[in-house]
Amino acid sequence: MIKINRRSFAALALGATLLASPAFAQSGTPHLILTLEDGAVDIELLPAIAPKHVERIVTLTEEGAYNGVVFHRVIDGFMAQTGDVANGNADSPNYNLAAAGTGGSELPDVEAEFNSESFQRGAVGAARSQDPNSFNSQFFITTADASFLDGQYTVFGKVVSGMEAVDALEKGPQEQNGAVANPDKIVTATIEYK
């Protein structure tokens, strides 16, 4: 007969809770798959270095929040920004391109998880306001070396295939800080475990 004391029971209960939570429900590494108008982008998410950011991206993706959201700010030779689920969904009656980039989800903001991953071409980072702890739903993909952002923004993913689709996104003029007048959108966003 197996005898279980309180400490053993608490450890078993905690283990069962972790296994039942969404972040641990799948095996493998989570990948954010963005289907764009010019192809698919496979982003390996990095929960080991930015677990709260990855959890937020997975949650919003599984809710379908990123489907139809535009790349409202694209600066040639720097980055492409998307993820304003409040104002930037071209398929929604609430779509407001002029306000795209100012909104987020109804979930609380996520604290920064700065790490040693560098913003090289294909890095995926958390967009935020001046407050380092203000990431909510918006993110950007660097299209060139942007290591000057290291330690100031959270890297939570990296593109493993499909950078040509990111490079093909409609760009905005430099003098308007990359604001895109006729933006491309995320057709669908899904999470796959690989």
Domains of the chain (ranges; CATH) run: 28-193 (2.40.100.10)
Please report, rounded to a whole number, the percentage of residues in the chain having pLDDT higher than 70. Answer: 87
Residue 42 has pLDDT above 60, yes or no: yes
Cα separation, 138 vs 73, in Å, equals 11
Please report, rounded to a whole number, the percentage of residues in the chain having pLDDT higher than 90. Answer: 86
Cα separation, 123 vs 128, in Å, equals 16
* 123-126 sheet: strands from edge to edge: 73-75, 79-82, 139-142, 123-126, 155-161, 39-45, 30-36, 186-193
Q: 183: buried, middle or exposed (CB in 10 Å: 19+, 13-18, 0-12)? A: buried
Once rounded to an integer, what is the mean pLDDT over residues 23-50?
Answer: 91
> Is residue 34 a contact partner of residue 192, using CB atoms and an 8 Å limit?
no
63 pLDDT band (50/70/90 cuts)? very high
> Is residue 193 a contact partner of residue 45, using CB atoms and an 8 Å limit?
no
Once rounded to an integer, what is the mean pLDDT over residues 183-192?
Answer: 98
Q: How high is the mean pLDDT of the chain?
A: 90
Out of 11-15, 32-36, 107-111, 167-171, which region has the weakest mean confidence (pLDDT)?
11-15
Residue pLDDT, tens place only, 91-126:
999 899 999 999 999 999 999 999 999 999 999 999
